[in-house]
Structure 1
């Protein structure tokens, strides 16, 4: 078995065990992709006094930027990572499979965060229907994800290389900027989508040059 395959560390085949091994092999605990940009941005967007659900929050490395002044719950399928989050941050944690109905009542949260999660979902529409259900009217849906098919990806393919995202076996969605905007608009009002990687060209021509973006959307108030 390929040593990069998360299942090479375990004989278990549950999704939770798969991701627990994936996080260990990929050294994803104790660090967060583009944290220096995403953390302060999420903190500013969220503010304080909010009921926040961080879906896919793992060990709370990104969560720690917005935990102060808020009541935060981490929902993840990696029980080991969530234990670390509880110990470090004192947050609530709930084991969640994002391919199923979320185990929360309607309108339970003011803010739902999904940082670097959408690209891992086999059925994003199913998940976003659930996100909208448990989000309070007027609530915020925030997150980030890497994009695909920008010019760097196209150049890599031209040279016979894989798309960068395809090198991670847990990446299932390969979205362009326009794909993300369309998906979000199906369920929410899009407030803004901010390029985090790709330079000035990404701001002017996001569909061609944006490589990583953060998004801010809102559920209708009525």
Structure 2
């Protein structure tokens, strides 16, 4: 399950779900509003820009946005919404690919850093973000908290979402911090469609150490985009790291 193959043409065609899921206004609008604030009047770079779920509305707010994206089919879908002049995109992986220019904000949303399947790649992603930022620049990551507290001893999987027509479950390899997300879509027939994606989960404290290795300081961590305090019971977090003003 190589990432380049996971994000092919079929995935790109079904990725956008306007008005629902990650595209629901109550999910998307706080994300865009907070990122516009954190950009602080400067330009933004999105790692793994995908089909432009966040970049397109952020650009409409007046924030200049550039993207880095591994999947050409995802960028083709983005191009139905914004052309290259409006949102430039560099094809490549987010751990090593360089985009031209210096940015005030680099952001990586919706658990996407976990698509990098080794700790070394994830550390390089932080270093790549730092290469694109000037003094005082920010790197923002939205990431889930590993749900191992809900994993009984001897059990390798958890169901994390269920609704009519959909079941989501994760299988864990706790030795290598790997998780495979299984997405089952079904209807009234006997047939079901399965899509899987591999991830390497990251503990919040481990994420902070990655940031430190790349020269960042943690500015704050909240449980969501609206600023809800992060607690031991939070299932996800938005962490903001900053390059010191003088380095």
Partner secondary structure for residue 87 of structure 1: coil
The residue that corresponds to 1:121 in the other structure is 116
CA distance in 2, matches of 1:195, 1:16: 30
1:41 aligns with 2:34: yes
Deviation at residue 23 of structure 1 after TM alignment:
3.3
CA distance in 2, matches of 1:96, 1:40: 27
Partner secondary structure for residue 88 of structure 1: coil
Query: Runs ≥4 in structure 1, deviation > 4 angstroms?
Result: none
Consecutive unaligned residues of structure 1, counting only runs of 5 or more, are: 1-6, 8-13
CA distance in 1, matches of 2:223, 2:155: 27
User: Is 1:40–1:65's contact at 8 Å kept on the other side of the alignment?
Assistant: no
Deviation at residue 172 of structure 1 after TM alignment:
2.7
The residue that corresponds to 2:4 in the other structure is 16
The residue that corresponds to 1:60 in the other structure is 52
The residue that corresponds to 2:206 in the other structure is 179
| Larger CA Rg, structure 1 vs 2 | 2
Deviation at residue 158 of structure 1 after TM alignment:
4.9
Partner secondary structure for residue 80 of structure 2: helix
More strand by share: 2
More helix by share: 1
The residue that corresponds to 2:141 in the other structure is 143
The residue that corresponds to 1:205 in the other structure is 231
Consecutive unaligned residues of structure 2, counting only runs of 5 or more, are: 161-169, 171-178, 182-195
Q: After alignment, is 167-176 or 86-95 more displaced?
A: 167-176
TM-score, normalised by the number of residues in structure 1: 0.74
Deviation at residue 204 of structure 1 after TM alignment:
5.9
User: Is 1:108–1:136's contact at 8 Å kept on the other side of the alignment?
Assistant: yes
